[in-house]
Every structure is written in structure tokens, then in C-alpha cells.
Amino acid sequence: MGALQTTVLLCLVLLHLCSNILAQDEDWKTATATYSKETDGSIITEGACGFGDLHKISYGKYSAGLSGILFNRGSTCGACYELRCVDHILWCLQGSPTIILTATDFCPPNFGLSADYGGWCNFPKEHFEMSEAAFAEIAKKKADIVPVQYRRVKCERTGGLRFTMSGSSHFYQVLITNVGSDGEVLAVKVKGSKTGWIPMTRNWGQNWQSNVDLQGQPLSFEVTISSGRTLASYNVAPARWQFGQTFEGKQF
């Protein structure tokens, strides 16, 4: 390899590394945060994203309800955010430690209250409602509301994507959880052993549905996340799958 080719190759490698760094480190944005008191450490066990028991799917206390402008009608369900308390010497913990939260719920507006007192999730406020346990890792619990900075980060998950089946003989629905990388699912397709790839429609949150009869067929799923990356998990569910069962596929 000549000197010119070596130089060009080195430049391309450096450019790729720099672009990855820039893509991973988004600019910090300003918002506010409060917490909800729950005895089990979670903010909720049944939220607008449809994830169900947050402890069973490993999101647990690091779950968050997002105001409408961040929730974006449920499209950001499963996305990960890094938060830190800032600009409040009385309430923020020393050193401004950060935590990673997963979007699991919608924080509804309260237009009967001002945006500065009680109406924290009113449009166009950017707000996070956290569990008490997670809040205590960035701020003192005596605070009602604290200023925070946040940014989207890649989701680090253990194991593969999880597909939980539900529905009836004429209605098929799959809940997709434990999504790494973007965390945010944009499109889903399902394939039986007797069909081609069938686009599914979003029912609510991260529940996706199809009206095609897929019983008695092993199922494969193709998932596309917000960055445009697509991952296919073949024959995830066996031919004798049943509603209520959860199956694990590949991971981004």
C-alpha cells in the first residue's frame, strides 16, 4: 500500500471515529424533574407505553414519565435519557451526578395550574416525572421540582429484544421491550412460515398489531429503530406459541 493510500485510509478511520463520538454525545438541553412516591421504587407499573410491570422488564426505578412534547404520542417509548440536576445549590447533589432513564409513561398536562406550579407537564414544557429512588440519586428528596439537563443516549440492554404475545384468534399483538441502541421502535414486520413479511401497525406505546391469522406458525420479527437500522430475528416464536408468552430475539 502506497503512502497516499495509507494517508487516505487513516483519514477515513479518524473521520469515522470522530463522527461516532459526535453522534453519541448530544448537546445537553434544559428541562425540569419531579418524582412520584411509590412503595416499590417504580413510578408506575402500567404506563402509557404498555410495558406492564417495569421491574419484570428490567426498567424498574430508572423509568420516567415524559411531558407531551417529549413523549411525542408514544413514539419515544423505550428511549434512554441521561439526566443531571443543575443550577440549584440547595437541592442538587454535589458534583451533579447523572442517571440514565428509560421513557415508559406519559406525564399528562394540568391546565388548571400554571406551568411554574403544578402544571409542569403542560405544553410546551419539557419535564421528567421520575421514581423517588432515581430522583434521590441526583437531588435531595425535599425538593418539589428541580432544574435538570438531559440528552438522548444509547440504551445499554442485557440480552436480546423481547417479544410478548397477546390478543385473540382474530387479533395479534406483540409488545416489544429491551430494545438497545436507540431504544425507540419506528416500524415492525412479522413473518410466519406461510407468509411473507407483514407490516404491523402501532396500537399504543410499543404494542404492535396485525389482523392476519398467524396461529400454528413459527414467527419472525423485523424491527426498525429511529436511526433507520433494521434487525431481523428469525423463528423467534415456535409454531406452538401461545398468548402471554415472551420470546427473545437478537439485539442491536
pLDDT number for residue 89: 93
**Rounded average pLDDT over 18-31:** 65
Average per-residue pLDDT in the chain? Answer: 88
Q: Which residue has the higher pLDDT, 148 or 12?
A: 148
In this model, does residue 193 exceed pLDDT 90? yes
pLDDT number for residue 173: 96
pLDDT number for residue 17: 42
Q: Which residue has the higher pLDDT, 58 or 227?
A: 227
Q: What is the pLDDT of residues 71-110, one digit of tens each?
A: 999 999 999 999 999 999 999 999 999 999 999 999 999 9
Residues written for the chain: 252
